[in-house]
Amino acid sequence: MFAGICRCDLSLETVPGCMKRGMLILVSGPAGSGKTTLCDRLTEAHPEAIRRIITCTTRSPRANESTGIDYHFLSRANFEAQIAEGVFLEHAEVHGKLYGTRAADVIAHLDSGKDALVNLDVQGAATIRSKANADKELADSLLTVFVRVTDPIELRRRLSGRGTDAADEIERRMAVATEELRHAGEYDHVIDSADRQSDFNRLNAIYLAARQARR
């Protein structure tokens, strides 16, 4: 169940005068898998249907990132206060930084009939799936996709090519990726990453098929 949200607000049934609720699309994958680019491209391809959920983090913005566009950048104290208030649908600590998805942000999109797209780490996705096990409405709204890079040499090349992380950070991310890859089978769909266009074609096909199935 969505934290802090009344159950009556979660119904996926079509209410007279209202649109049917949208899907909650979770996309996960290790750093360097290209999942952020894929999410951006999917929302750009379906601007009337999909809204990307901007998640919160305590990490500092990179040079090309802006608050409210890439993330909501929060202080750790602010983030922890919101945890205590029950604001987050899910939250987790990754690479020593806190990340979380506000329940109200998801609800706002689903209530409008839009599909909500979240770029989420495996911990956060596991939290939402766990909640869905006890909440049929939430379970029925979920579509989960894991973007997998099976070749460690290729993953290292991608991480190094970004030019945003120091060598020790790349090593840490490689270690985390090894653990994250073990969770790929928990998702509805797995995309074995090849190149940006092929990966996008696969994600788009998964999305369109899920939309068709819900009609």
Rounded mean pLDDT of the chain? 87
Separation between Cα atoms, residue 160 and residue 142, nearest integer Å: 33
Strands (E), the chain: 24-28, 50-52, 56-57, 72-73, 88-94, 97-102, 115-119, 142-148, 189-192
Give me 15's structure tokens. 């209410």
Helices (H), 46-166: 76-84, 103-111, 122-133, 136-141, 152-162
Distance (Å, rounded) from C-alpha 85 to C-alpha 3?
10
User: Mean pLDDT lowest for which of 125-139, 152-166, 179-193?
Assistant: 152-166
Residue range 33-45: mean pLDDT, rounded: 95
10-21: pLDDT as tens digits: 333 333 344 477
145-160 pLDDT per residue, tens: 999 998 889 988 988 8
Residue for token digits 């983090």? 57
Q: Please name the residue that has the structure tokens 């092929």.
A: 198
Is the domain defined by 18-213 classed in CATH 3.30.56.10?
no
Please tell me the predicted confidence (pLDDT) of residue 94: 81
Higher-confidence residue of 38 and 64: namely 38
Answer yes or no: is pLDDT of 78 > 80.
yes
Scored b (16 or more CB within 10 A) or e, 178-204 reads eebbeebeebebbbebeeeeebbebbe
Place of tokens 């890859």: 181
Among 7-21, 157-171, 196-210, the least confident range: 7-21
- CA–CA distance, 56 with 120 (Å, rounded to integer): 11
> What's the average model confidence in pLDDT over 73-89?
96
**What is the structure's pLDDT at 21?**
77
Which pLDDT score, from 0 to 100, does residue 54 have?
93
- The two tokens of residue 132 are 């869905």
> What is d(CA 189, CA 205) in angstroms, rounded to the nearest whole number?
11
Q: How many CB atoms lie within 10 A of CB 160?
A: 13
Q: What percent of the chain has pLDDT over 90?
A: 58
- pLDDT given at position 199: 97
- Output the pLDDT for position 7: 32
| Whether residue 40 has pLDDT greater than 60 | yes
